[in-house]
Amino acid sequence: MIIDVVTIFPKMFSPVLDESIINRAQDKGLVKINIHNLRDFASEPHKKVDAPSCGGGGMVFKPDPLFGAVESILGYEVYPEKKKDENKRIILLSPQGKTLSQKRVKKFLNLERLILLAPRYEGVDERVRCDLAEEEISLGDYILSGGELASMVFIDCLCRLIPGVVSDKESIKRESFEGQGLDFPHYTKPVDFRGLKVPEVLLSGNHGKIETWRKRQALETTKKRRPDLLK
């Protein structure tokens, strides 16, 4: 899979993308992430990517650099020529989009190319939302200063689901939101920490009993914290 991100802050990405699981995914050749500086697609002499909102208000990302960036990445014009390519998706990070969930992330796994648009300020000119973006993704009902962190969150949850990225496939299947609810409680060494003990059953070596305990605990945790997941 190829992921392209269009941003005015390319330097924000390497501390996250060049570490841990996302870095491993790139090293293994399972994902290629390209960060594009939107200013490279803005016109001389000032390379301006934003302008005041028509009618008054804050600054808004102009349509021409964003259309230009996407068309340069894809190698063809996307408007007015509406070329359909089912293997790619142009995604706008936006608080007005559909909320990101484990289920929604999985929808993107079969695609070959994702282009993420990460604006700032008041967001994008409406023509970008309507005629360039094919999907809008939100992290939740709150406002971030820009789409960069939202893009990185999206990339992180996507990459760990690409087969081969996380070596223990089973651990992914047991995670919260994968099955019926939340994950079971985990304990590690020491078995006795200041009198707080690891449950006996987890030290018993009896895999059947451990599995039953974990399932019951996961169900109890879900009932208590997220009963909505059990509906």
Ligand X SMILES: C[S@@+](CC[C@H](N)C(=O)[O-])C[C@H]1O[C@@H](n2cnc3c(N)ncnc32)[C@H](O)[C@@H]1O
> Which residues sit at the interface with ligand X, rule CB under 6 A?
93-96, 118-120, 122-123, 138-140, 142-147, 150
Which pair of tokens denotes residue 185?
């409680």
Extract long-range pairs of 28-32: CB within 8 Å, 24+ residues apart. Answer: 28/164, 28/165, 30/1, 30/159, 30/162, 30/163, 30/164, 30/165, 31/1, 31/2, 31/3, 31/159, 31/162, 31/165, 32/1, 32/2, 32/3
Smallest gap, in angstroms, from Cβ of residue 154 to ligand X? 9
DSSP conformation class of 53: P
Q: Which is nearer to ligand X, 62 or 120 (CB)?
A: 120
Does a cis peptide bond (omega within 30 degrees of 0) precede residue 190? yes
With respect to ligand X, which residue has the nearer C-beta, 142 or 205? 142
Residue 63 or 147: the one with the smaller Cβ distance to ligand X is 147
Give phi and psi for 175, each to the nearest 5.
Answer: -70, 165
- CB of 176 vs ligand X, minimal distance in Å: 20
Residue nearest to ligand X (CB): 147
For the CB of residue 126, give the shortest distance to ligand X in the complex, in Å.
12
Q: How far is CA 126 from CA 107, 129, 130, in A?
A: 25, 5, 6
Peptide bond into 80 cis (omega under 30): yes
CB of 121 to ligand X, least distance (A): 6
Provide the residue count of the chain.
231
Q: How far is the CB of 97 from ligand X (least distance, A)?
A: 7
Amino acid at position 154, single letter: F
Q: Which residue lies nearer to ligand X by CB, 88 or 120?
A: 120
Q: How far is the CB of 38 from ligand X (least distance, A)?
A: 12
Closer Cβ to ligand X, 63 or 123, answer by number: 123
Shortest spacing between CB 25 and ligand X, in angstroms: 22
The helices-and-strands tally (H runs, E runs) of the chain is 8, 9
Task: Please choose, from the candidates 31, 21, 3, 27, the residue with its C-alpha nearest in 3D space to the C-alpha of residue 168.
Answer: 21
Structure tokens of 67? 């259309």
Minimum CB distance to ligand X smaller for 146 or for 179: 146
Q: Which is nearer to ligand X, 9 or 177 (CB)?
A: 9
